[in-house]
Amino acid sequence: MFKRILIVVDPRPVARIAVKDGTALAKVHGAEVIFFYTLPHYPVPTVDAPLWISLSEDDFESAARSEAGRMLAAAAVVADKNGVKHRSAMGRAHDDAKEIIDVARARRCDLIVVGSEGRNAVLRLVLGSVIPGLITAAPMPVMVCKDRRPLAVKQSAVIVPLRKAPVRRARAAM
């Protein structure tokens, strides 16, 4: 069914799950995988805020490309272990979701695979997420992979059942 699958790669742990699930799906379908990394934008201060970045724009670009190369190489190792044919690409645009969709169209991908941390709508709005843009604008299906591990419960947490406290009646002074 799928001949070419675009898998979005980034530094988040949930992206490793997307790589694992996407390459497993590609293996089942005999599909080729395109790993794609969206490069971050150089932070430019707005208004009269002091610049807190100590990297020059060239150093930032070099570090971003180096990080992208490491992430894409790690994804390639997973694909090689599964015997899946793969290619890698990176890019940057003002709208990351549009860039991912444009790459998927240009490479004639049948599916986009992306990882999600399962944030609610408010957190997606504040912290940013490409998933809503991908789901609404992509002409091909989008597979969203989540971490399937159960949430860890702190060992120090203690659950104490509530008991009704005895009612103390004040004695009326006579």
In tens, the pLDDT along 90-123 reads 998 888 899 999 999 999 999 999 998 766 555 5
8 Å CB contact between 8 and 114: yes
Give the whole-angstrom CA distance, residue 24 versus residue 83. Answer: 10
pTM attached to this predicted model: 0.76
Percentage of the chain surpassing pLDDT 90?
Answer: 47
Secondary structure E strands in 17-157: 32-38, 86-91, 111-116, 142-146
For residue 154, pLDDT over 50 is answered with: no
In tens, the pLDDT along 9-57 reads 988 888 999 999 999 999 999 999 999 999 887 766 555 555 565 667 8
For residue 146, pLDDT over 90 is answered with: no
Domain range list for the chain: 4-146
Give the whole-angstrom CA distance, residue 94 versus residue 110. Answer: 24
Percentage of the chain surpassing pLDDT 70?
Answer: 71
The CATH number of 4-146, from 3.90.1280.10, 3.40.50.620, 1.10.3430.10, 3.40.50.720, is: 3.40.50.620
Q: Using alpha carbons only, give the angle 91, 95, 98 rounded to the nearest 5 degrees.
A: 80
